[in-house]
Structure 1
Amino acid sequence: MISVEVSYTVKPAFLEQNKRNISLFLADFRQLTHLNFLYQVYLKDDGLTFMHLSMYENEEIQQQILHVPSFLQFQQERDESNLDNAAQVKQLTLIGSSLRLI
């Protein structure tokens, strides 16, 4: 199991576009029902900091997800938006979950 947390802070002018881009790639992710993964996006209390939590059964699935065109477009626009806080990526170790993941 691969678990990853990514957080970043957008500028107010990019907030709505980032939300739209997230909606687009999540819609595409929902079509990938044959892959065993979980991807969630949260907006923190400051209203500008996003946190993405993802879990993948293995590296092959992770790579398939990370190469979905709408996700690549989201990342490109996010990175070109002049973030207030650059994306921070952390690997996580899953201890347990009430959700059956595999």
Structure 2
Amino acid sequence: MKTLCVQYTTTAAFSPVNQANIARIVMELRELNHPGIMYSTWLLPDGKTFMHFDQFANEEAHQVLISLASFKRFDEELWASGLEAEPVLEQVALVASTEKFYNS
């Protein structure tokens, strides 16, 4: 299992574009229905800081996500947008949860 937490801050003007790009990723993932990918994104109260929490059954599943056309568009536009705070990516380990994850 691979679990990633990524947080970054866009400009206020770019936040709606980023939200739309993320919605396209989710739509493509739903159509794909890959059993090894759990993808979620959260918007913090400032309206421009995003936190992605992604879980993958394995590295191959992670590669599926980053190869999606919607993800490539999201990534390209995000980096071109003039971020207020660049992404901080951390691989995290599950300690305990009420939810069922890949390694629980």
Structure 2 match to 1:8 = 8
Unaligned runs of 5+ in 2: none
Q: Provide the TM-score with structure 1 as the length reference.
A: 0.93
Aligned to 2:75: 75
1:38 aligned residue: 38
Consecutive aligned runs of 4 or more in structure 1 exceeding 4 Å deviation: none
Gaps of 5+ in 1: none
Alignment coverage as a number of residue pairs: 102
Cα distance in 2, alignment partners of residues 55 and 39 from structure 1? 6
Q: Which amino acid aligns with 1:14?
A: F
1:12 counterpart SS class = coil
How many Å apart are 1:32 and its aligned residue? 2.2
Structure 1 distance, partners of 2:28, 2:88, is 24
Matches within 5 A, 1:1-102: 1-102=1-102
After superposition, what is the alpha-carbon deviation per residue over 1:51-73, rounded to whole angstroms, capped at 9, x for unaligned? Answer: 00000000011111111110111
Shift of 1:16: 1.0
The DSSP-based 3-state class of the residue aligned with 1:74 is helix
Distance, in Å, in 2 between the alignment partners of 1:80 and 1:40 is: 22
- TM-score with structure 2 setting the length: 0.91
Deviation, structure 1 residue 2:
0.3
Partner letter of residue 76 of structure 1?
E
